[in-house]
Structure 1
Amino acid sequence: MERLLCIWFGAGLLRPAPGTWGSAVAVALGLLLHRLGHFPLLALATGLVILLGFWAVRRFTAGMEDPDRSEIVIDEVAGQWIALLFPSFGFWMMDLGPDRFPWPGWVAAFVFFRLFDIWKPWIIGRADRRRDPAGVMLDDLWAGLFAGLATMVAAAAFHIPLML
């Protein structure tokens, strides 16, 4: 069960770039969750996958010298969903229906998440260098937070001049 969760039901076995595949699958599932229950369902699912991720990664990687294996993508799912929470919350607050998640929001969240997950600046890189099961999850959670913030800054940079 832990392995199945860690590889996110096979997404982590896709090649090349399993992390990108994991993020892409996460975006598709995140959009579906948003459509089914808007921001509250996506937030609940994000919290659940974070908890499951810490549990599953710790159990699956027990005894491994390097637990940060490329096929483990539950961390990408958690981080990508954190990034998606930002535009999802904005659309929810604007009272857009759950069937509305305009493409710039999810595309920006995906691009920024992949950027921060690969680049690993500051605290993201520090978490990645832990080389333990918690670090496997933490670097992507931080990347998701920074990606969500960057998505909102990009949205503001685009929309504020239109309002002037």
Structure 2
Amino acid sequence: MSIASLIGTFFGTGHLRPAPGTWGSLAALPAAYLLHQLGGFPLLALATLVVSALGYWATAEMTRGKDNHDPSEIVIDEVAGQWLAIWAISYPAWSHDISITALWPGWVTAFVLFRLFDIWKPGPVGWADRKHGPMGVMLDDIIAGIMAAIGVAALAGFSHGVLGL
């Protein structure tokens, strides 16, 4: 397995069936937890940027000369997007010295919202998905991750502020 394939499939996760994108998103969660435990939000943020750049490169390498520019085994885009969605709980946990596991509803919400936006492709996610090449592959999941993070933050604000939970 080439380095590009190892990165693009997130260490082979993209070969799991059915729904490799969901498997990629699930595999991203323990990795995000580990990164947060090792270095808090700053390390997760840096790793997200690095994975996004490496994902672009790996996608370009894996699709070079092929008709399919977004094969299902490429899941590094889901990893980048899922990590972005997790930023909405990693940053508050890190900045307020809260155990990130105490924010477990945020983990569930980040996963569900990210998968929903990645599959449904509303607005800007769909726009990015229609772009061809590695940029389109990565960008739709990055936008879905940002939208999921905003959703997590909004729902946390509603839950804690309005409902008082």
What's the TM-score once normalised by structure 2's chain length?
0.94
Please state whether the residue corresponding to 1:24 is helix, strand or coil.
helix
The number of aligned residues is 163
Q: After TM superposition, list the pairs within 5 Å mapping 1:1-164 onto structure 2.
A: 1-97=3-99, 100-163=101-164
1:58-88 per-position Cα deviation (integer Å, ceiling 9, x unaligned): 1211111121110000000000001111111
Please tell me whether the aligned partners of residues 66 and 132 of structure 1 are also in contact (alpha carbons under 8 angstroms). Answer: no
In structure 2, the gaps of 5 or more residues are: none
Query: Cα RMSD (Å) of the superposition?
Result: 1.4
Contact 1:11–1:21, Cα closer than 8 Å, also in 2: yes
Q: CA deviation at 1:139?
A: 0.3
Letter in 2 for 1:161: V
Moved over 4 A (4+): none
Asked if 1 retains the 8 angstrom alpha-carbon contact of 2:89 and 2:103, the reply is no
| Aligned residues with identical type, % of pairs | 53
Separation in 2, partners of 1:87, 1:76 = 18
Q: Is the 8 A contact 2:86 2:110 kept in 1?
A: yes
Provide TM-score, normalisation by structure 1: 0.94
> How far apart, in 1, do the equivalents of 2:125 and 2:132 lie?
12
Structure 1: 5+ residue runs without aligned partners?
Answer: none
